[in-house]
Chain A
Amino acid sequence: MDSIIRRRTAAYVCRSCIQRTRNHIQQRAYSRAAQPDIYDVVCVGGGPAGLSLLTALRANPVTSHFRIALVEAQDLSKMQSWKLPPDRFSNRCSSLTPSSALFLDKIGAWDHLARDRVQPYHEMQVWDGVSDARIEFDWAPDAAPSADTTIAYMTENLNLTSGLLKRLAQLGGVSVFDSARVEKISLGEQTEAQDLREWPVVNLAGGRQLFARLLVGADGADSPVRSFAGIEARGWDYGRHGVVATLELQGEGWGGDQMKTAYQRFLPTGPVAMLPLPGNYSTLVWSTTPENASLLKRLPTKDFVALVNAAFRLRPTDLEFMHTQSKGQAEEYSWRMEHTPSHGKLIPQVVTGVQEGTIASFPLKMRHADTYIGERVALVGDAAHTIHPLAGQGLNQGQGDVQSLAKIIEYAVNHGQDIGARLSLEPYLAERYATNHVLMGVCDKLHKLYSVGSGPLVPLRSLGLNAVNVLGPLKKFVMSQAAGHGIKVF
């Protein structure tokens, strides 16, 4: 074009006008060449769910050719190089079921976790704080602990994300936008070249635009991707806070370092759980009222430790009284222990200390998105559903979502489908929605059932718990459903 103008007009048009026209043409040529940055998958959120999904896509030869982008607000290099000394543990831990661990192994991330910081446990003691009815979960009560009899793996969340990031770095091929704030998610425009009016665009602070064939929302409970897709999340707040802490125990557990046990006691204010970590450490997750939570965070260490020990040993009346004291729980605890019968090895060992700075709390709520898919949008993890932590299922539900979505994307690729089309994403919704819904419902009803402190419901639920404890097949069914490898009922 440029040479034509020069040849044809050189005789009739002045040099400066020719130059101006040439500049104009060059500008239009640039705007035509500024192609939108289109990715096959843009994942917003670098938590366990998002990282697992990208690792699964990269590790699978069918989907490894994808152009993938990861958007995360935090600094991922810090998360990848996260490291703590062996006697210090982060206070946010999750219980990974064997099926989640199997999936992580399949995508190659399991070996990148700091395995000496992961604690498998083989037994679980759960009991009613009001009536002392008890259920004991153990795959093989008298056998030696092995990988087959593991109930779950206690892992620090930061260990998990660090391992996934290491695996992702090993696989490569992901455009990572970390420390990036998502300013807006919008839809594309129609241009001469293509019609992107139904394609999501992630606008980062600083002007970068990422166009997504499939936009995955793995961005937590207040997901911007979910609100962009116009999907509502319905549910309720529990009016409870989960208090977490890293505890130091008297010993390595009644069964020693090889046979660790998880403990959970249902109090009327909410369940208190002590989950084992390597060595003589444990993590505490205590769901209680906001007032009790703020008291727990205020207490001096000695009184906090006494209150945690009391939570597993004393009756609810004593605990209620101790929650009204602003200090002095240690003395009250030692007096009451003189008049409380010993439970022996059915309860955790005595807590002797708390790791500094690990006492924190977060509000508990239940939310379920109306759907997990939209036009070129899919939700995984907490963006899709938030659950009560009493059964340790939240993170595992996210991993289950990712496993399913990765499989559906692989199927779509193998059958020549557009991975962002609703037709391709529908099987993901069908596979996961009902399963998640039932699990959240069960956890919600358990919470409500055990919130009752007195009355006829207490002996009824104790009867039910004792019944499940002695009915072997029923107990095995419950255990396998919780482990994720049970029969798919829904």
Chain B
Amino acid sequence: MGVAIRRSVGLAGLAGRSAHTLRPCIAIASLPSPLNQQYSAPSRPPPNYPGHVPLNRLEKAALAIGSGLMSLRDPRRGDLIAAFAEATATPYFIYRLQDAMLASPTGRRILRDRPRITSTSLNLPYLRALAPNTVGRTYIDWLDREGVSPDTRAAVRYIDDAECAYVMQRYRECHDFYHALTGLPVVREGEVALKAFEFANTLLPMTGLSVFAAATLKAPERRRFVGTYLPWAVRNGLRAREVINVYWEEELETDVDELRRRLGVEAPPDLRAIRKAEREERRRKAAEGGV
């Protein structure tokens, strides 16, 4: 991306400056501000929160196209997927998600408290000691099984409104909880199925566009996705309550089936078990064939 992005250094919070939204307002069309995004690189406004990088419309569009294409080529580039999510979240979608949080009493509490999910904020040994079918235990078992840690989430940079930036950050950090809730594994097939579910539930464009990564799956995986997991994702994503409004820190000791029932989510067929069975079937056939 040949666009020079000037990183602002040391401007912490700027508490005195009110947060900006991107709603159209004719009266202030002449000022260079994130509100109208008409500014050029030399006249970039100061950041709204630590790590904020204000981009104008052209830069955001370029970032969206570039990161979208490159993350399709290499889906393990989490940073590109994160940038793609932020560049495509405005104008409408992140505000819709913010409204969904503000409409729910729990969502409002999350926005007030602004909890973060990191390996330091969650007490991992405590989670391991929880009873087997609790949310917390399922989560830590899934983390251990897939070999991931809660710290692998990038900080939000390209969303201008500070509260919307938190909403995106919260979505990103809860992604692993969604894996634990649904039981889908980290492999490409599982990620694509979970993204389809997230799109039906949160309506973030990145999640919807990630479903096109199904084109890069192997043929039997694609068939399984289209036949089983995509219908499951759409059906459950639409009928479930907004998963962004789940206060995970308070639900750690809840029974995971009870949480699924409360949210309206049914567990899909266990993908790891299916893949393992298929692998063993292939190995058996190969062994028989060889003999």
Contacts and interface: CB of A to CB of B under 8 A. Distances in A.
Interface string B98-117: 01001101001000100000
B103 A321 contact: yes
A315 B19 CA distance: 14
Interface centre among A134, A317, A462 (most CB of B within 10 A): A317
Contact of A134 (B18, B21, B25): B25
Given A317-B99, A339-B19, A342-B18, A134 B112 contact: no
A341 B103 contact: no
Given A339-B163, A341-B18, A342-B18, A321 B102 contact: yes
Given A339-B19, A339-B162, A342-B18, A469 B103 contact: no
Given A132-B24, A339-B163, A317 B18 contact: no
B20 A341 contact: yes
Interface in A172-228: none
Given A335-B112, A339-B163, A341-B18, A317 B23 contact: no
A426 interface: no
B26 A317 contact: no
Given A335-B112, A339-B163, A132 B23 contact: yes
Given A317-B99, A317-B103, A341 B26 contact: no
Nearest to B25: A132
Nearest to B104: A321
Contact of A341 (B21, B99, B105): B21
B215 interface: no
A317 B102 CA distance: 7
Contacts of B99: 315, 317
B219 interface: no
Contacts of A342: 18
Interface residues of A, number: 19
Contacts of A339: 19, 162-163
B27 interface: yes
A346 interface: yes
Nearest to B26: A466
A470 B29 CA distance: 14
A232 interface: no
Nearest to B21: A341
B254 to A, nearest CB: 25
A342 B25 CA distance: 12
A466 B25 CA distance: 10
B102 A318 contact: yes
Interface in B1-60: 18-21, 23-27, 35
Interface centre among A131, A315, A339 (most CB of B within 10 A): A339
Contacts of A320: 103
Contacts of A341: 18-21, 35
A320 B44 CA distance: 36
A315 B96 CA distance: 12
Contacts of B102: 315, 317-318, 321
Contacts of B18: 340-342
Given A341-B20, A342-B18, A134 B26 contact: yes
Contacts of B23: 131-132
B27 A134 contact: yes
A429 to B, nearest CB: 43
A134 B20 CA distance: 18
B287 to A, nearest CB: 59
A321 B26 contact: no
A265 to B, nearest CB: 14
Nearest to A314: B102
Contacts of B25: 132, 134
A318 B163 CA distance: 14
Contacts of B103: 317, 320-321
Interface string A441-485: 000000000000000000000100010011000000000000000
A302 to B, nearest CB: 20
B111 to A, nearest CB: 8
A342 B16 CA distance: 12
Nearest to B22: A341
Contacts of B35: 341
Contacts of A318: 102
A214 B228 CA distance: 81
Nearest to A462: B24
A321 B108 contact: yes
A189 B35 CA distance: 76
Contacts of A321: 102-103, 105, 108
A340 to B, nearest CB: 8
Interface string A280-317: 00000000000000000000000000000000000101
Contacts of B112: 335
Nearest to B163: A339
Contacts of A133: 24
A157 to B, nearest CB: 35
Interface string A341-356: 1100010000000000
5 contacts: A131-B23, A131-B24, A134-B26, A321-B102, A346-B27
For the complex of A and B, list the 8 residue pairs with the smallest distance between their C-beta atoms, beginning with the closest: A317-B102, A317-B99, A339-B163, A132-B23, A342-B18, A317-B103, A341-B18, A341-B21
Given A132-B23, A321-B103, 8 more contacts: A132-B24, A132-B25, A315-B99, A317-B103, A321-B102, A321-B105, A339-B163, A340-B18
